[in-house]
Amino acid sequence: MPDIHVASQRCVACGDCVALCPQSGTGVELPVLVLAETGLIEVARQEGCICCFTCVEFCRSAAITISGAPPAADGQPEVYPTRSISRII
């Protein structure tokens, strides 16, 4: 099972990750990511994550990391290797 971590000190609570995640957002009964009452993004249900890395790729502040994701299929490169942070938009 993947381990999703949202760094609260980096998160700007834009909600892009919730809106773009196929396992969260509008119409999803048991979302993986939610915008909590505290105003921050929280992981509600890690076991629902399909490791598509959409949240990681589109996080404008690079606040989301996923570890423990299943390896890529034979012959396929890693989808989104760890990227360096040059600035926060």
What residue numbers bound the domain in which 40 lies? 3-67
Per-residue pLDDT at 73 = 58
- Asked if residue 12 belongs to a domain, the reply is yes
Note down pLDDT in tens along the chain; length 89 residues: 789 999 989 999 999 999 999 999 888 899 999 999 888 999 999 999 998 889 999 999 999 999 876 665 565 555 544 455 555 55
Does 47 fall in a domain? yes
The pLDDT score that the predictor gives to residue 75 is: 58
d(CA 59, CA 80) in angstroms, rounded, equals 13
- C-alpha–C-alpha distance, residues 63 and 7, integer Å: 5
* CATH number of the domain residue 52 falls in: 3.30.70.20
